[in-house]
Amino acid sequence: MVTGYCVKCKEKGVTLDDAVIHRTEKGGYMAKGKHGACGTTVCAMMSKDNAEAAVASGEATEESA
C-alpha cells in the first residue's frame, strides 16, 4: 500500500488512489496519486526498493518514458 501525507487535509498515512511512480531529476523515486476524500494530488518520496515492490505488487504503475 502506497501512502503519503495530504497537505490540504493534514492527514497522515493517506492511501494514494491510482498511484504512479516517477523518477526525480536527482534519481530518487516519488509516488503521485489522488487522495480519495478531497481529491488533492498527494506525493510520497520512497526508496528504490519500495518503489519496485509497489510496482511488482500492482499497487502502483510505473511512469512511461
Q: What is the mean pLDDT of each run of 10 residues along the chain (65 residues)?
A: 88 90 93 89 92 91 79
pTM of the model: 0.80
Would you state the pLDDT for residue 36?
Answer: 84
| Domain map (residue ranges) of the chain | 3-62
Region for 42 from its dihedrals, namely left if φ exceeds 0, alpha if ψ lies in -120 to 50, beta otherwise: beta
Taking the C-alpha atoms of residue 4 and residue 31, their distance in angstroms, rounded to an integer, is 9
Would you state the pLDDT for residue 2?
Answer: 87
Would you state the pLDDT for residue 65?
Answer: 60
